[in-house]
């Protein structure tokens, strides 16, 4: 496997010679994304460089988790992984399909007509139904993580923060505007309902053309939420674990809930009804993805026979592991080899890779295994056995959005 080295935004980008015509698309906290042409298939792709994935155990685990999830989740409304490789400098690159734009660019370019909003919301919910059925919470849904092409096909991306569906999940997640109140209030005991809240915020932004809760900080954010939803009910306040947070909430002036019809410009009763069921303070009373799909607002696209769930739950057995970087590296190499269907012969167990021990559709990936820490090393012996499961791909029959959307998407795509 040969590589070519480029400089993108001052960042070294090393990709296999299979990919040409690289152009920067975006820069995030954990990586740089470029568009490229795949010479093998002729398709346009997106290549995401994970910055220094093995610099710390936390980053190593995060990258491993994202790769495992991308391998497992196979759904038309979720971004799909077409290639993954490690450069000579040990940076990791994920290759996925390239879509023309994202919902953030679309929303900042023009107001969306009702049929676009319905179709986009339907596809987000369809993807979430599948993801949640796999026992996965995305945790960072926002318009920039919702990709759209010229046919208005929509795919959810960036599963770097995704976690197990666990009532004891903790930690700082989600961009502020789209963050569920239970995250701000308790920092624990949250589940798939946080994604429904985020989707509700995205839905409101599509309706209004601007963020619904544009908080300047987490205190201001929560205050803005209470201006619309009113003071949290007592049974929600009782779940607050932090004394400081509890005092803050109790110090706020008592507010009454404001009807959404008075706050929003939207006069579509069906849209407001669904939104009010998604943006509920108590996550236990928040509508779920399946229930959202059955709502009349997305009725034109709803097809219960074509809204699949995952065949298997995602295997989170690795998630609580506290492992050194070298061990995560071994596990990452194993996942990459598995993705490329490269197998190793047991004769390699002494840490060497004999000629012919590696087989697969692309023997260039033998280099990946050859660079892995020796199988008999301390790192390798502490590696826990993890397997990636896959689910059947699905086919959608949802009605296509109006063809006029092509121009709207193309207008917002990076030049």
Same domain, 28 and 116: no
Q: Report yes or no on 384 lying in a domain.
A: no
Q: Report yes or no on 369 lying in a domain.
A: no
CATH of the domain at 174: 1.10.510.10
As a whole number of angstroms, the distance between CA 80 and CA 69 comes to: 10
- Mapping DSSP to helix (H, G, I), strand (E, B) and coil, where does residue 212 land? coil
Same domain, 24 and 150: no
Tens-of-pLDDT digits for all 415 residues of the chain?
789 898 887 888 999 999 999 999 877 656 788 999 999 999 999 999 998 899 999 999 989 999 999 999 999 999 999 999 999 888 999 999 999 899 999 999 989 999 999 999 999 999 999 999 999 999 889 999 999 999 999 999 986 554 444 444 333 334 789 999 988 776 556 789 999 999 999 999 999 999 999 988 888 888 999 999 999 988 888 888 888 888 888 888 899 999 999 999 999 999 999 999 999 999 999 999 999 999 999 999 999 999 999 999 999 899 889 999 999 999 999 999 999 986 555 444 444 433 433 334 454 455 555 555 554 454 444 444 333 333 333 333 333 333 433 344 444 444 4
Same domain, 172 and 80: no
Phi-psi region of 9 (alpha: psi -120 to 50; beta: other; left: phi over 0): left
Residue that is last in its domain, among 62, 97, 132: 97
Same domain, 33 and 170: no
Residue 26 β-bridge partners? 33
Residue that is last in its domain, among 69, 97, 125: 97
Per-residue confidence (pLDDT) for residue 258, from 0 to 100: 94
Per-residue confidence (pLDDT) for residue 371, from 0 to 100: 56
Per-residue confidence (pLDDT) for residue 409, from 0 to 100: 41
Cβ–Cβ < 8 Å for 46, 67? no
Q: Tell me what percent of the chain is helix, strand and coil, each rounded to the nearest 5.
A: 40, 15, 45
CATH of the domain at 25: 3.30.200.20
Kindly write down the DSSP assignment for every residue of 205-243, as one continuous string: HHHHSS-S---SSHHHHHHHHHHHH-SPPHHHHTT---H
Same domain, 64 and 190: no
Q: Report yes or no on 123 lying in a domain.
A: yes
Per-residue confidence (pLDDT) for residue 367, from 0 to 100: 52
Q: Report yes or no on 172 lying in a domain.
A: yes
As a whole number of angstroms, the distance between CA 270 and CA 357 comes to: 61
Q: How far apart are the first and last CA of the chain?
A: 31
Q: Put the strands of the sheet holding 101-102 in their side by side order.
A: 101-102, 146-148, 154-156
As a whole number of angstroms, the distance between CA 76 and CA 391 comes to: 12
Residue that is last in its domain, among 77, 97, 117: 97
Per-residue confidence (pLDDT) for residue 251, from 0 to 100: 87
Same domain, 198 and 251: yes
Per-residue confidence (pLDDT) for residue 353, from 0 to 100: 38
Which residue range(s) make up the domain with 92?
1-97
- Mapping DSSP to helix (H, G, I), strand (E, B) and coil, where does residue 28 land? coil
Q: Which of 71, 111, 83, 105 is nearest to 390 (CA)?
A: 71
285 is in an annotated binding site: no
As a whole number of angstroms, the distance between CA 140 and CA 149 comes to: 21
As a whole number of angstroms, the distance between CA 318 and CA 181 comes to: 28
Cβ–Cβ < 8 Å for 137, 192? yes
Same domain, 74 and 118: no
Phi-psi region of 159 (alpha: psi -120 to 50; beta: other; left: phi over 0): alpha
Q: What are phi and psi of 191, to 5 degrees?
A: -145, -150
- CA torsion 172→278→402→309, rounded to 10°? 80
Tally the domains of the chain: 2
State the catalytic residue, choosing from 140, 153, 158, 191. 140
Catalytic site residue 140?
yes
As a whole number of angstroms, the distance between CA 114 and CA 32 comes to: 33
Same domain, 62 and 181: no
Q: Report yes or no on 379 lying in a domain.
A: no
Residue 44 CB partners (closer than 8 Å, separation 6+): 35, 36, 37, 38, 98
Same domain, 227 and 107: yes
Per-residue confidence (pLDDT) for residue 411, from 0 to 100: 45
Q: Report yes or no on 29 lying in a domain.
A: yes
Cβ–Cβ < 8 Å for 51, 32? yes
Phi-psi region of 412 (alpha: psi -120 to 50; beta: other; left: phi over 0): alpha
Please give the angle made by the CA atoms of 364, 367 and 370, to the nearest 5 degrees: 145
In sequence order, what E strands does 87-126 have?
A: 92-97, 101-102
Q: Which of 154, 151, 112 is nearest to 403 (CA)?
A: 151
- CA torsion 357→360→365→369, rounded to 10°? -40
Q: Report yes or no on 85 lying in a domain.
A: yes
Per-residue confidence (pLDDT) for residue 176, from 0 to 100: 86
Q: Report yes or no on 318 lying in a domain.
A: no
Same domain, 182 and 225: yes
Per-residue confidence (pLDDT) for residue 305, from 0 to 100: 97
Same domain, 90 and 51: yes
Same domain, 20 and 44: yes
């Amino acid at each position: 496997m040969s590589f070519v080295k480029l400089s993108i935004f001052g960042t070294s980008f090393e990709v296999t010679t299979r990919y040409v015509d690289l152009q920067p698309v975006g820069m995030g906290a954990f990586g740089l994304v470029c568009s490229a042409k795949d010479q093998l298939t002729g398709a346009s792709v997106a290549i995401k460089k994970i910055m220094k994935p093995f610099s710390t155990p936390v980053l190593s685990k995060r990258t491993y988790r994202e790769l495992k999830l991308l391998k497992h989740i196979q759904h038309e409304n979720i971004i799909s992984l077409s290639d993954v490789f490690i450069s000579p400098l040990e940076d990791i690159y994920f290759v996925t399909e390239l879509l023309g734009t994202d919902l953030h660019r679309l929303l900042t370019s023009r107001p969306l007509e009702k049929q676009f909003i319905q179709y986009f919301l339907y596809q987000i919910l369809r993807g979430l139904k599948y993801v949640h059925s796999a026992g996965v919470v995305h945790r960072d849904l926002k318009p920039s993580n919702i990709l759209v092409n010229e046919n208005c096909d929509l795919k959810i991306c960036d599963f770097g923060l995704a976690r197990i569906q666990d009532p004891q999940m903790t930690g700082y997640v989600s961009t502020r505007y789209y963050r569920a109140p239970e995250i701000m209030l308790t920092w624990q005991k949250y589940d798939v309902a946080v994604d429904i809240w985020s989707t509700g915020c995205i839905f409101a932004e599509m309706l209004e053309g601007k963020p619904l809760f544009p908080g300047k900080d987490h205190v201001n954010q929560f205050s803005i939420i209470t201006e619309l939803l009113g003071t949290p009910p007592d049974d929600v306040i009782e779940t607050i674990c932090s004394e400081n947070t509890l005092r803050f909430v109790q110090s706020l002036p008592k507010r009454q809930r404001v009807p959404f019809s008075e706050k929003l410009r939207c006069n579509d009763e069906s849209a407001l009804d669904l939104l009010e069921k998604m943006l509920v303070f108590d996550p236990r009373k928040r509508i779920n993805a399946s229930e959202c799909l059955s709502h009349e607002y997305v009725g034109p696209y709803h097809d219960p026979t074509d809204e699949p769930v995952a065949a298997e739950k995602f295997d989170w057995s690795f998630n609580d592991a506290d492992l050194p970087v070298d061990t995560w590296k071994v596990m990452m190499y194993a996942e990459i080899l598995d993705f490329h269907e490269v197998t190793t012969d047991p004769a390699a167990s002494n840490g060497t890779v004999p000629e012919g021990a590696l087989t697969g559709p692309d023997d260039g990936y033998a280099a990946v295994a050859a660079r892995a820490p020796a199988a008999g090393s301390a790192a390798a012996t502490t590696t826990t056995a993890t397997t990636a499961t896959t689910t059947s791909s699905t086919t959608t029959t949802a009605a296509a959005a109006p063809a006029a959307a092509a121009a709207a998407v193309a207008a917002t795509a990076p030049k």
